Amino acid sequence: MSHIFKPALDSIPAGIISLDDYEKSAREFIRHDILEYINGGVADDRSLHANRKVFQNYRLYNRVFNSFTETDTTVTLFNKTHPHPIFLAPVAHQGLVHPEAELATAAAASAMQAPMIISSLSNTPVADVSSQASTAWFQLYWQTNRRATSALLNNAIKAGCEAIVITLDAPVSGVRNRAQRAGFSLPAGLTEINLRDLPLPPPRVLNADDSPVLHGLMQDAPTVKDLRWLRKQTDLPLLAKGISHPSEAQIVTDLGFDGLIISNHGGRTLDNMPSPPELIPAIRQVIGPDIPLLLDSGIRRGTDIITALALGADAVCIGRPQMWGLAVAGALGVAHSVKILKEEMEIAMALTGSPTLTALTPDIFFSENSSEYQTSQSFACGD
């Protein structure tokens, strides 16, 4: 497989001091078509670009008078406490960029005590990966029917995964034009190893006029009944990834799910979508304050993390940065990326006067409306 990437470095090159630097550097290590598959969004990349740009809308007040006698960056989810709120999102096919693939990522996750959500589509068996990570969750793709899904789920449970995340927003693949134009296909030798030997049904037979999407793939997507069934298959914490509408968030919690990951799949499914920060407040309002909510898609800076948490998230996930870090410097690169984010987050907490994660509320945001109001009026002072 060595022909698909340039060997990663043994140390972090000087000048790599932010996640954007990793993104730039990674271009030299990853073959073009694979890079386009990883970095591309769908169609015109509008969702992709919006995911970064949206954070500009959340302007931050600095504050200087809050006490830092007690500080706390830990987050406790499902009775386990993590030292910081930075999680590793499920990222498929990490073998595309590094020979050690998910094992290297798990080593980094362990070093940084960042929970790792292992993808159904990992190139390394889930049990091997989870044994390396300090906290391993499993990302579950519905496998056409309950029997196959159950097999995949139980394999993850047996591997010691501590929570299950079912991804709901990708029953069909998005219009991945960048990957297609670059001629991307999965290199020979990389396998979806967790899916091998699943008891899948025979392929669906379609009529000539049937839509492969509507009459095909969509008929294999999980229904509400399937999710109700799934809920009963495990006592592990169960999270739904890829819900956007508040009413569907309500359905998920009514089904007895334990948490949500708000994500637009890194801009990889539907174009023209709202970005997760825009979605969080309304969803938090619907589900109440206690259900864990993670934000995925677009996190690249410490200020992004505190913004997400102030909007109502409990933790955040990073996706593509794992692949960039892996490509540039293997486990070291992934660990360094998490470390950069953690340090930036602490600086952002310090400067916004937020000694703890719970201090992060919408009060940290500057609202333009108030200032516009005031400039269009003479202001009355005093009394």
Among 2, 67, 185, 207, binds its own copies (CB under 8 A): 67
Among 1, 23, 31, 83, binds its own copies (CB under 8 A): 83
Residues 138-177 that bind its own copies (CB under 8 A): 168-169, 171-175, 177
> What is the closest distance, in whole angstroms, from the C-beta atom of residue 127 to its own copies in the complex?
29
Active site residue 215: no
Give me the residues paired with residue 82 across strands.
Answer: 75
> What is the closest distance, in whole angstroms, from the C-beta atom of residue 145 to its own copies in the complex?
16
Total residues interacting with its own copies, rule: CB under 8 A: 103
> What is the closest distance, in whole angstroms, from the C-beta atom of residue 137 to its own copies in the complex?
20
Residues 44-63 that bind its own copies (CB under 8 A): 44, 46, 55-56, 58-63
Q: Which residue lies nearer to its own copies by CB, 10 or 209?
A: 209
Residues 230-249 that bind its own copies (CB under 8 A): 242-245, 248
Binding piece for its own copies, criterion CB under 8 A, among 92-100, 102-110, 319-327, 351-359: 351-359
Among 315, 348, 357, 360, binds its own copies (CB under 8 A): 348
Residues 265-294 that bind its own copies (CB under 8 A): 269-274, 278-279, 281-282, 284-285, 287-289
Binding piece for its own copies, criterion CB under 8 A, among 85-93, 145-153, 264-272, 316-324: 264-272
Between CA 33 and CA 178 the distance in angstroms is: 9
**Is residue 17 near its own copies by the rule CB under 8 A?**
yes
Number of alpha carbons in the 13 Å side-chain half-sphere of residue 295: 27
> What is the closest distance, in whole angstroms, from the C-beta atom of residue 211 to its own copies in the complex?
5
- φ and ψ at residue 137, rounded to 5 degrees: -110, 165
**Is residue 74 near its own copies by the rule CB under 8 A?**
no
In a 10 Å sphere around its CB, with 0-12 CB exposed, 13-18 middle and 19+ buried, how is residue 310 labelled? buried
Residue 189 region, left (φ>0) first, then alpha (ψ -120 to 50), else beta?
left
> What is the closest distance, in whole angstroms, from the C-beta atom of residue 308 to its own copies in the complex?
12
Between CA 243 and CA 229 the distance in angstroms is: 19
> What is the closest distance, in whole angstroms, from the C-beta atom of residue 35 to its own copies in the complex?
16
- φ and ψ at residue 77, rounded to 5 degrees: -130, 130
**Is residue 205 near its own copies by the rule CB under 8 A?**
no
Between CA 12 and CA 326 the distance in angstroms is: 11
Q: Which residues are known catalytic residues?
A: 265
